[in-house]
Structure 1
Amino acid sequence: MRPTVRGITTRRSGVRGSGAGATDAGAGTGGAGPRIRTGRGRRWAAVLATGAFVVAGAGGFASPAQATVTASVPVDFPTHCIPPAIAGIPPIDGTTTAEITVDNAAPEVGETVTVTYTVVTPAAGNPVDLALPADIMTPTGAVTVGGAQSATVTVAGPKKNDPVPGKGVFPSFSMTGTFTVTAPGQITLSPGDYNIHTSYIMELDTPCTVTDPPAPVSETIIASDGGGQVNERAISLGAASGRAGEAVAVTGTKFTPGTAVTLAGRAGEGQTGDTATVTADGSGRFSGRLTVDDPATTGIVAYEGGAWDAARGAGPQAYTVTGGGGIPDGSQRLDTSVKAGTLSMLQDGDTVDLSAVDFGRGGVSRGSLRTVTVEDYRGGPAGWSLTGRVTDFTGPGGATIDASALGWTPVCATKPGSPSTCAAGSPGPVGSGGATLASAPDGTLTGGEFTVDARLALNVPAYAAPGAYSGVLTLTLT
């Protein structure tokens, strides 16, 4: 009798169980010995997260605060976050808890108010078992101003955070910005979109937007009329952060119609060399772009005339440079990039023929798994795991050999120069519940090429019905 094991199939598994590849099992042939098919020359890929942030499950949503509220309150709001593209994770909706506070809850018209946006509970967490180190996160965001006046205030936080344990909740963070009061009355402040920029192994962003803007009001201030002339010029930024050398969109309102307006970067109280000029239209509006090269930039202003004048300008709006740097005189910057790839495997053939055993004697039907090559070109901190599970072996007249009768002895070799080192799974039964064939652990930087093999052994009962038997061994790489 020659049992036949047919159809090693391979399945692709993405993050959080998403994605599954196709099963390729061929028809059985009698008298050929056990066979396992594996989809010759085909490649399946699965990308996992690298420094990216997984959104937590959604919770209850708070109702908007009443307009009469004059004390800051934490609010919950639904958030839509997009992990970095390298993560291969689809956008996930979660809940953010945040609070807005101010340095002056009763300002006069014309005064500047400092706003602090604290994300108490971000809608994101560490997606891998590897701990993230301290001070790798730079948050930026926006605060929506409503009521007596309307504006969008950009806010930015320092590059500072406590270490985050593997699979741990991401810590709270705060961002600050300023705006000028232009009208008396109740002015409401609501949390807006925010972005988590991380600088660990590579520069990555996780933008989170308010699903149903505006978010609930967290702070209400009461502005009084100061009696003086008010500068109503205002600007807003298209982003609160960017790499050195990137351009940021700047829009302005209430400037003098037809007047040239200078856009400029600020580093604390001083102005940087980053400037651009636009012209206000007939209604006093303008739209332009400012390229920010100076990594010391903390804000952006716009003004009429030859130099900054708070009476004829607007800002600063908070802005943070998240990477890159200046170019010394007489030098040229040479830019390149290392593109992250995927986690994939390639199988050397699709059929395994196990040795025949004799009716009445039974015994072990032996063979070797077709070699599997694992290629991890993601370049991040996540490891991988290659597992397998097998079906029952079916034979003539409905006869079966239980899946638990198949065992393996895995072997794994690492290509020299690979950042990771693979480990073979433990010898033992495979069964329908599955077992680990090989794996590589999480690390600061993982990746490489790995060759995986296994010796197969099927324990055939002495009086199994004569004929061909087939089973399907499915390998899953995550």
Structure 2
Amino acid sequence: MRPAIRRSASRRSFRRSGHARRWAAALGVGALVVTGGGLLAGPAQAAATASVAVDFPTHCIPPAIAGIPPIDGTTSAEITVDNAAPKVGETVTVTYTVVTAAASNPVELALPADIMTPTGTVTLGGAQSGSVTVAGPKKNDPVPPKGAFPSFSMTGTFTVTAPGEITLSPGDYNIHTSYIMELDTPCTVTDPPAPVSQRIIATQDGGGEVNKRTISLGTASGKPGDRVTVTGAEFTPGAAVTVAGWNGSGPTADRITAEAAGDGTFTFRPAISDPATVGIVAFEGASWDPAKGAGPQAYTLTGGGEIPDNSQRLTSSVRAGTLTMSQAGDAVALSAVDFGQGGASSGALNTVTVKDFRGGPAGWSLTGKVTDFTGPGGAVIGASALGWKPACATRSGSPSTCAAGSEGSVGSAGATLASTPDGAFTGGEFTVDAGLTLDVPAFTAPGAYAGVLTLTLT
């Protein structure tokens, strides 16, 4: 019995180069470090009560061209505030200090001073939810080869909108390197939210109307001209809202204006390029009015790539790759069974090779479905009678790991043969096999039966 095999594939592009990986390794590209300072100053407040340092598992992704795998480690961090007993409507300055980063310098090469810039988020909970973006200055001590990164701090602000206990937990952070190349190392909380590091108690101010407008950013940093996703809430429904860069005392020329939705929310994506930008604000009306606005949320423009003395900037490009599959053959002869006994007609799927050379965040899924098996005189063995036992192997060095589908019936509705998950960085080469079994009823009419198994890669 010969199930013919067809295939289809969706293709996505990606960029990669072994030469670039070797060059990045020579530069010592990896996780980053910054010390001290803050970007967005708030009004003077009472001293904050003691916070606690907390530990949490973190997943860090070194720059792809560094050619090193993700780093799973523990981050030790602490959140402090300038006012632990604010009133509703007041601004609180938040400092996120990474005491011990989850990763260290991965190469045998010292990293110079003042090349690293950190950004991140602080997660709010309790009486007020949301996140606060924080950023630090481009300042760090030299890092020795394979050495641990020293502590670094990031600051930001938020406006208190509700009375009660507000909790603050460390969130994701990213460290940007400006040394020969502009590269990022994002570190995410493995099981968010991280433990609470700071608690503040907010009280009602007893005054007039409280401005509850808020904004949050999709990222706390970007290159000049990059667009940042800004999400707002509690604005006047249908009002014209302007989202703009913030230079520390007022809006910059980088701005976009559109209407808030009927529920007072919006999502805008302004391009930010003014080098004076240290934050993002949103406001109703023709000009900045804190009573009808929100922010600033910390935002840092990255770039520069200063070249040290007696150095040369080298550049390269990586051609786009694709997601493809191939198979060792298009026909499988299953074993014969005896009339009156029936049973398992077995064989093996022709080996399928999947090559995911896109290098992006998407995984893939390889599925199959089969037609009924037709025989002499219109006799039929139903599609549900074909079962498989999948197996999948991952080539050494592949960023992704292949998972075999479940053993069971294939059928006309289809089943998963193998897959890889989405991730911060995916790709690789994989071989997929399966044992095939057709359950033939005992008194099936003698003769040859054939069905078509179709594989689809997405």
Provide the TM-score with structure 1 as the length reference: 0.55
Correspondence 1:308 to 2:288: yes
Q: 1:249 aligns with which of 205, 229, 232?
A: 229
Correspondence 1:52 to 2:32: no
| Deviation per residue, 1:229-248 (Å, 9 max, x gap) | 21000000010000111111
Letter in 2 for 1:131: A
User: Which 5+ residue runs of structure 2 have no aligned equivalent?
Assistant: 1-17, 33-47, 306-312, 320-458
Task: Name the residue aligned to 2:253.
Answer: 273
User: Which 5+ residue runs of structure 1 have no aligned equivalent?
Assistant: 1-42, 56-68, 326-335, 343-478
Q: 2:165 aligns with which of 186, 191, 199?
A: 186
Q: What CA distance in whole angstroms lies between the structure 2 residues aligned with 1:45 and 1:214?
A: 35
User: Per the alignment, do residues 256 and 165 of structure 1 end up closer, same or farther by CA in structure 2, a change over 3 Å counting?
Assistant: same
% identical equivalent positions: 73
Correspondence 1:207 to 2:186: yes
**Partners of 1:81 and 1:208 within 8 A in 2:** yes
For 2:269, what is the secondary structure of its paired residue? strand
For 1:96, what is the secondary structure of its paired residue? strand
Correspondence 1:285 to 2:262: no
Q: What CA distance in whole angstroms lies between the structure 1 residues aligned with 2:71 and 2:136?
A: 24
- Within a 5 Å distance, the mapping from 1:67-86 to structure 2 comes to 71-86=50-65
Q: How many residues align?
A: 277
Q: CA deviation at 1:44?
A: 11
**Partners of 2:21 and 2:64 within 8 A in 1:** no
User: Per the alignment, do residues 44 and 152 of structure 1 end up closer, same or farther by CA in structure 2, a change over 3 Å counting?
Assistant: closer
Q: CA deviation at 1:265?
A: 0.5
User: Per the alignment, do residues 157 and 136 of structure 1 end up closer, same or farther by CA in structure 2, a change over 3 Å counting?
Assistant: same
Q: What CA distance in whole angstroms lies between the structure 1 residues aligned with 2:258 and 2:153?
A: 33
For 1:183, what is the secondary structure of its paired residue? coil
Q: 1:163 aligns with which of 142, 160, 171?
A: 142
Q: CA deviation at 1:177?
A: 0.1
Q: 1:114 aligns with which of 93, 96, 109?
A: 93
Q: What CA distance in whole angstroms lies between the structure 2 residues aligned with 1:183 and 1:337?
A: 52
**Partners of 1:295 and 1:324 within 8 A in 2:** no
Q: CA deviation at 1:338?
A: 2.1
Correspondence 1:321 to 2:301: yes
For 2:125, what is the secondary structure of its paired residue? strand
Task: Name the residue aligned to 1:102.
Answer: 81
Letter in 2 for 1:167: K
Provide the TM-score with structure 2 as the length reference: 0.58
- Answer with 1 or 2: which has the greater Rg: 1
**Partners of 1:144 and 1:190 within 8 A in 2:** yes
For 1:160, what is the secondary structure of its paired residue? coil
**Partners of 2:214 and 2:294 within 8 A in 1:** yes
Letter in 2 for 1:215: A
Letter in 2 for 1:254: E
For 2:65, what is the secondary structure of its paired residue? helix
Q: CA deviation at 1:201?
A: 1.2
User: Per the alignment, do residues 266 and 46 of structure 1 end up closer, same or farther by CA in structure 2, a change over 3 Å counting?
Assistant: closer
**Partners of 1:154 and 1:317 within 8 A in 2:** yes
Letter in 1 for 2:164: G
Correspondence 1:234 to 2:214: yes
For 1:311, what is the secondary structure of its paired residue? helix
Q: 1:258 aligns with which of 238, 241, 260?
A: 238
**Partners of 2:28 and 2:108 within 8 A in 1:** no
User: Per the alignment, do residues 51 and 247 of structure 1 end up closer, same or farther by CA in structure 2, a change over 3 Å counting?
Assistant: farther
Q: CA deviation at 1:270?
A: 2.3
| Deviation per residue, 1:266-295 (Å, 9 max, x gap) | 111022110101211111000010101111
User: Per the alignment, do residues 318 and 54 of structure 1 end up closer, same or farther by CA in structure 2, a change over 3 Å counting?
Assistant: closer
**Partners of 1:295 and 1:323 within 8 A in 2:** no
Q: What CA distance in whole angstroms lies between the structure 1 residues aligned with 2:19 and 2:230?
A: 44
Q: 2:128 aligns with which of 135, 142, 149?
A: 149
Q: What CA distance in whole angstroms lies between the structure 1 residues aligned with 2:91 and 2:216?
A: 16
| Coordinate RMSD, CA, aligned | 2.4
For 1:86, what is the secondary structure of its paired residue? helix
Letter in 2 for 1:141: G
Q: What CA distance in whole angstroms lies between the structure 1 residues aligned with 2:125 and 2:297?
A: 17
**Partners of 1:245 and 1:291 within 8 A in 2:** yes
